[in-house]
Amino acid sequence: SQTIHQWPATLVQPVGSPLSLECTVEGTSNPNLYWYRQAAGRGLQLLFYSVGIGQISSEVPQNLSASRPQDRQFILSSKKLLLSDSGFYLCAWSVSRGVGTQYFGPGTRLLVL
C-alpha cells in the first residue's frame, strides 16, 4: 500500500530564516505530487505540483519554491521566511492528473515569528 510522509510535523522559525519541508511517498512509482497550504480560516490553496523529476509548476506567485530531486521526494523551500508564510502545509500525491483522488500527508504546521 502507498504511504506519504512529511516532516517535520511542527516548525517554529524566525522571520528571514530559510525553510525546507520534505515529503516522500512510498509504494508507488512516478506519482504526481502537490504542495498545498491551509492558512487559518481558509481553504486549501495549491502552491506547486509536479508530474515528474525536476518538473515543477507553480500555481501562485510567492516566497516559496519547490523541487523534486527524486521520483518520490518533493521539497518545499524558502530562502527567507515571511510572517505570512505561517500555515499548515500539506503534501499530496495522485496516480494521475485530471482523474481522481489525491492522497494527503499528515501536514507540517509552520509558525513564523
Partner 1 sequence: DQQVKQNSPSLSVQEGRISILNCDYTNSMFDYFLWYKKYPAEGPTFLISISSIKDKNEDGRFTVFLNKSAKHLSLHIVPSQPGDSAVYFCAAIGGRSQGNLIFGKGTKLSVKP
Using CB under 8 A as the binding rule, whether residue 95 contacts partner 1 is answered as no
Measured from the CB of residue 79, what is the shortest distance to partner 1 in angstroms?
26
Phi and psi at residue 4, to the nearest 5°: -130, 130
Closest alpha carbon to 22 in 58, 69, 55: 69
Any contact of residue 99 with partner 1 (CB under 8 A)? Answer: yes
Quick check: 37 and 88 in contact, CB under 8 A?
yes
Using CB under 8 A, which of 35, 49, 74, 93 touches partner 1?
Answer: 49
Asked if residues 28 and 52 have their Cβ atoms less than 8 Å apart, the reply is no
Binding site for partner 1 (CB under 8 A): 6, 32, 42-44, 46, 49, 59, 88, 90, 92, 97-107, 109
